[in-house]
Structures are given as structure tokens and as C-alpha cells.
Amino acid sequence: MRINDLPAGERPRERLLSLGAEALTDVELLAIVLHTGTAGMGVIQMAESIITQFGSLGKLMTAPARALNDIKGLGPAKRSQMLAVLELGRRCFAGEMKAQPVFKSPKSLEQFLQRQFAGQQSESFIALFLDVEHRMIACETLFKGTLTRTAVYPREIVRRALEHNAAAIIFSHNHPSGAALPSAMDKMLTSELKKVMDCVEIPMLDHLIVSGTAVWSFRANGLC
């Protein structure tokens, strides 16, 4: 069914304007982004098919950009619209991290990190440099590695922290091929990094592991 075939009060755009975005389903919101369907498939059906193909809206939002190339009927224009929405979301979360203490909304911090690692097929190590009120000064990917391992150099971390005049720091890395659980090496690295940062009087507030939509926190589990 085409959107124009729906009663005016049931069309996604009209519902959004009258009820607010929070009242719409994932399918309806995606349909608004796509704007039109394809020959033989209305935009509502297309949006539902895309979400089903990826398993959930969350998995779609964290999928690599090239994964959009495999969606039938999703041409360059629609892909660019979706990628623009994803980038707007990432920048929005970055703005929130800079405007308020990162631990004021732990969920926002997790979502921000999930977007930073979205679509990455190899391990990366990120540092969030914070001011005295624990607002984000900068977020930098300091090291990149293979599918299962990243080499981390504490000396480089200290150098960047001092350059940013950071008052505190949070680390994060991803597990693209596994669960968001710490390995023995992750625990050793976290312990080493805490000692190094203590030496330069820059508290390490947390180390988070991200895998897809799952996030594991050393701080929340009493290991940081």
C-alpha cells in the first residue's frame, strides 16, 4: 500500500507533525527518511523489509555503510539520506557529551560510543578527553588494529591527554567479532592504563567495551 492510499491521519508525516516523533514506530520513522518506495513496493513495506533484513533498527543504525549497497531498491539518493541521518545522530550525541557531564546520562554515552564504532570491522581504541566537570573536550581514535587485537601505547595517550589539558579520561575499544566482555588482556591493559594515568594525575574514569549494541563497563563492574 502506498502512503497516499492511507487515510490522512494514518500517514507517517502527518502523524509525526500532529503527535510528535516519539509516537511513530521504527518503520514509520524510516519510511519518512526514505520518502518513496520502489516499483511494486510502497515506502512503508520497504522500510519494514529493511529493518527485518537487518534484524532491528539498532542493527541497521550500526551497520557499515557498504551494507546499504545490498538493499534492493536503495539507490544512491536513499543511501545518502540514510547516511546523512546516521551522521546527524552521531554529531548530536557528540554535542551532548560536550554540553553535560558524560555520566549524567550513561545511556547517551553508550549510544555515542556505539555510533563511533558503527560498521568497523577491526578493533579500534578510543579516548574521550574530559574537562574538570567531566564534559567531553574531544574524542579521538588513537589506535587501530586487526579483527581481534589493537596495540595500545600509553605514552601516546599521555601525550594527547596533556595536549588537550584533560582533567579526566575514558577509554573504549570495540570487539567486532565477539561479545562485549573483557579478555584477560583487556583487564591487564586497563590496570596498566590506570597506573599510567594516575602517574600524570589524570583519573581514568572508565574503560568500555563495545560490540554491536552491547556495551560492557569496567566502572560499572567494579574493575575501574
The CATH fold of domain 104-217? Cytidine Deaminase; domain 2 (3.40.140)
All three cell numbers of 60: 541497521
Separation CA 187–CA 184 (nearest Å): 5
Q: What is the DSSP letter of 58?
A: H
Separation CA 23–CA 137 (nearest Å): 34
All three cell numbers of 193: 592504563
With a cut of 70, list the residues of the chain below it in pLDDT: 1-9, 62-64, 90, 93-99, 146-149
pLDDT, residue 129, reads 96
Residue type, 210: V
pTM of the predicted model as reported, rounded to 2 decimal places: 0.66
State CA 214 to chain mean position distance: 11
Residue type, 25: T
pLDDT, residue 7, reads 65
Enumerate the β-bridge partners of residue 141.
126
Where do we find the cell 529493511? 50
Architecture of domain 3-90: Orthogonal Bundle (1.10)
Angle at 188 between CA 105 and CA 157, to 5 degrees: 65
- Which ranges in the chain are annotated with CATH 3.40.140.10? 104-217
- Which ranges in the chain are annotated with CATH 1.10.150? 3-90
